[in-house]
Structure 1
Amino acid sequence: MSDVADWWSTAIIDMEPGRIAMRGHAIQDLIGRVSFPQMIWLMTRGTLPTEAEARLLEAALVAAVDHGPQAPSIAAARMAVTCGLPLNNAMASAVNMLGDVHGGAGEQAVELYGWIDRAGGDLAVATAAAIDRWQRERDRFVPGFGHRFHKPVDPRAPRLLALVDEAAAAGTVSGRFATIGRAVQAELNARKGTALPMNIDGATAVIYAELGFAGPLARGLFCLSRSVGILAHAWEQMEQGGRNKGPTPPAYRWRYTGPEGGREDG
């Protein structure tokens, strides 16, 4: 049976009738003893974090739960419900909206911060070079900075950075990625000539990088966080009712830009 048993292999869970162990911890020893953020850490990283590390992770998760029906993921969830889908399908539809443009900037910001951290030397020089490289190789938009709605400050970012500063002072994290994030903002402000806010992606990326999460996990953690808002909006829409509510009210029509045809003359 070894060929069957080895079809899948995992270091995450061991299980047999009457026994469940997660990363070597009996499930009954975890229930009621660890928080959900600690459980997320254990499952994704293989170890249990300290309470201070878990509190910082929790802060990032709390900060990103929702941004209203204007967010594509939330809008998709509400539209799915009006098409008659149950909550789990609405949530799946919404999470599938979280790609590189909406939901992926946290992963990208962790990568950018990593470039700067590994460059060493003068921070300002390394930051400028990393931004130039990002815009040359990836995108003119620098991930984690700027917001179409929150100007000049995304209210979530200063609070998260303050918590990182407190954690750094207590020795929970190094604080170097908070310094890097602020250096990116300073460089972008100087280039633009106006305040370009660090947004939720940039701020949570600071926390995820400080805590040692890989970039792809930063996106996954954003999906976990935003799923709370997705669930809440889908449930609210289900309670409100309504059928086939599209992204715009029925009285508004799209702008047609194709060839004329199909209309009667006169």
Structure 2
Amino acid sequence: MCKEFTKQIEVHPQKQVVEEVISYIIKKQNSVDSELLLSPDTINKILNKVPHNDFDLTQVDKFKDEILNAAIEENKRGLNPSQRARLWQGGSPYFGLDDYEDMVLKKGEIVYTGYPFPTGYSFTKETLESVGGDSKKLFQGVQVNPRISPDGTGEYKFQVIGFEMLDDLPSARGMTHANPQLGAGGLEQIFTPDFPQLVREGKEKPILDEQTMARLREKGIEFDPKLLQQVDKDGEYVYKTSICNNVEVLTDDSNIIKLNNYNLNKMEIRQIKAAIKDIESSGGGIR
């Protein structure tokens, strides 16, 4: 693919940066057995977006992620859920790549995800029940990086929300093992691509009582998929906030599962940071 761009790459003033970004995209697509990501459009983006003058080399990693995310979005119809799940891994702090298998979440099924900011990663009721309400067991079992506070302590999410599938949704599932720097692993995790968009489209819905939804609507958080899909003249969503980017703590809804043991002390955070630094120093992950 790069051969037709050889001359343009050779004469680019930031040739080294261009080659580094192209190499990164090749490694990422190879990690999921795909040849879709390094398309002519992707190479053109790299050539055109890398400045011909001075380039801030501290921003190279950020630029790599920008190009990668654009390539994934452009080619997502050709990538299966397992590939999409693995493409999110490989960089700090999720250096390792877990094994996934494709599956379908059937209409009517319910999965659970940490709240706030539900993402495409979720787990079954059986997985949730296996940890006995212990946040550390849950999120270290699925190897999630904790949120770190300015004072050096940290925490995992302490609320879990259920989502009901309103359509059959292609997903992937796998046991979590590849990132021991973030916990022991050993729990199954489910990945559903484009999760927030699926909520907007009404293909899945949060399980909340009517009082909670009414209270959240008063704060500008919408649930009706017809309203969530409305756009203005600039193509921006009229209702910008759904349950997936809401930060309200939901304390009085019996549907919300409350977790305990979610705080991490300074020593625990230092140990996680040190483990991540060791992997970075040894060249771990995809670069």
Q: Greater Rg, structure 1 or structure 2?
A: 1
TM-score with structure 1 setting the length: 0.26
Taking structure 2 as the reference length, the TM-score comes to: 0.24
Question: Highest relative contact order (Cα 8 Å, sep 6+), 1 or 2?
Answer: 1
Larger strand share, 1 or 2: 2
